[in-house]
C-alpha cells in the first residue's frame, strides 16, 4: 500500500511535503481525528544502517512515546507499517529557530530571554527524567505560529544512567571540547554546552566558533568567548553564555544552575521555567 493509502486508512489526508532529511521526509496532513493539521515524519527503515535501526531509532521512539511537556514537540501517534516504514504523527511548526534568526539577523535580548526560558524549561524536564537530547541546535528548536518553542528531533537522544558516554553524536558547531577530543563525557553537560551555542546564536546571529577546522575550533573553545563588534548584550547575558561554554564540564553549570542564573531570574519568567 502507498504512503498516502496507509495514512488515509488511519484518517490522515496528505496535503504536501514540508521537509526532508537524509533518511526521512515530513508531510503536512489534515486530520479529522485530531481536528487539526499534523506533521508526519516518514522514516523508511530499509535505507537505514543497522546501528540506527537497532539502537538509535528504538531509543527515539521509546522517548517520543513518553515525553509530555509544553515546549517539546507533541507526538500524537506512531504508526508502523509491515513494509518497514514508520510514521510519526506530531504537532506541526511554523518555522524553526535557525530560520527565524536568518530572517531577523538576530533576536533582541528581551525576546531571546523569553524564548530561551522555554528552551531551558524543556531541557530541565528532560534531564529530570534522565533523558539527554544530544543534538540541541537551532535547527531542532521549532516555533509554532504563536512563537511557542517546541524542541524536536530526538534521533540521538537516550536515557542516561549517570555513566560517562563514549558516543560522538550531534552537530560539530554545537559540540563541546570533550566530544571533539573523543573522551568519555557527561551527556547532560554536553547538552548545556549546546544551549550556550544556541543562546549565542540567538543574540548575535552567528555561531561562536568556526567549525570548519577541528583544531582551530578546539583552540578557540579554550579562549574567552568573542562577540561580533555590533553585538549589544547585557553583561548578565554574556556571563550566562560564558558559564555554559566553560571548557571544563565540571565547572559548567547543570540545567538548574542555568535556570537560577540572574539573567533568567525575573518574576515573570520563573513560572515559565517551572512548567
Residue 116 · residue 123 · CB < 8 Å: no
- The active-site residue out of 37, 110, 135, 191 is 135
Catalytic residue list contains 135 = yes
In sign, the C-alpha dihedral spanning 45, 50, 51, 53 is positive
143 and 230 co-located in one domain: yes
pLDDT digits (tens, 9 = 90+) for 73-121: 999 999 998 888 999 999 999 999 999 999 999 999 999 999 999 999 9
**Total residue count of the chain as it appears in this document:** 275
115 in the same domain as 74: no
* One domain, residues 56 and 131: no
Domain range for 74 = 3-90
* 143: enclosing H helix or E strand: strand 141-143
pLDDT digits (tens, 9 = 90+) for 19-63: 887 778 999 999 988 889 999 999 999 888 899 999 999 999 999
Whole-structure pTM value: 0.91
Backbone angles phi, psi at 97, to 5 degrees: -65, -35
Q: What DSSP element (H or E) covers 37?
A: strand 36-44
What is the number of domains present in the chain? 2
Specify whether the CB–CB gap between 96 and 141 falls below 8 A.
Answer: yes
Q: Are the CB atoms for 261 and 253 separated by under 8 Å?
A: yes
Secondary-structure percent of the chain, ordered helix, strand, coil, rounded to 5: 40, 20, 40
Q: What is the CATH number of the domain that holds 159?
A: 1.10.510.10
Amino acid at each position: 500500500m502507498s504512503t498516502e493509502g496507509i495514512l488515509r486508512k488511519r484518517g490522515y489526508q496528505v496535503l504536501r511535503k514540508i521537509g526532508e532529511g537524509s533518511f526521512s521526509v515530513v508531510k503536512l496532513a489534515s486530520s479529522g481525528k485530531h481536528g487539526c493539521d499534523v506533521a508526519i515524519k516518514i522514516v523508511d527503515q530499509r535505507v537505514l544502517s543497522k546501528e540506527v535501526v537497532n539502537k538509535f531509532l528504538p531509543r527515539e521512539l521509546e522517548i517520543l512515546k513518553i515525553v509530555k511537556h509544553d515546549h517539546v514537540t507533541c507526538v500524537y501517534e506512531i504508526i508502523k507499517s509491515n513494509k518497514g516504514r514508520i510514521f510519526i504523527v506530531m504537532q506541526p511548526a511554523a518555522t524553526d529557530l535557525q530560520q527565524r534568526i536568518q530572517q531577523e539577523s538576530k533576536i533582541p535580548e528581551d525576546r531571546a530571554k523569553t524564548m530561551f526560558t522555554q528552551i531551558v524549561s524543556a531541557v530541565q524536564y528532560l534531564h529530570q527524567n534522565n533523558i539527554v537530547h544530544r543534538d540541541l541546535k537551532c535547527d531542532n528548536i521549532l516555533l509554532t505560529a504563536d512563537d511557542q518553542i517546541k524542541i524536536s528531533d530526538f534521533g540521538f537522544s537516550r536515557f542516561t544512567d549517570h555513566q560517562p558516554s563514549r558516543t560522538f553524536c550531534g552537530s560539530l558547531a554545537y559540540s563541546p571540547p570533550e566530544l571533539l577530543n573523543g573522551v568519555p563525557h557527561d551527556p547532560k553537560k554536553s547538552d548545556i554546552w549546546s544551549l550556550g551555542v544556541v543562546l549565542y546564536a540567538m543574540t548575535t546571529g552567528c555561531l561562536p566558533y568556526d567549525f570548519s577546522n577541528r583544531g582551530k575550533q578546539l583552540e578557540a573553545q579554550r579562549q574567552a568567548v568573542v562577540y561580533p563588534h555590533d553585538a549589544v548584550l547585557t553583561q548578565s547575558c554574556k556571563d550566562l553564555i560564558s558559564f555554559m561554554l566553560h571548557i571544563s564540564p565540571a565547572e559548567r553549570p547543570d540545567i538548574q544552575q542555568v535556570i537560577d542564573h540572574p539573567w533568567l531570574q525575573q518574576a515573570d519568567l520563573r513560572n515559565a521555567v517551572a512548567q
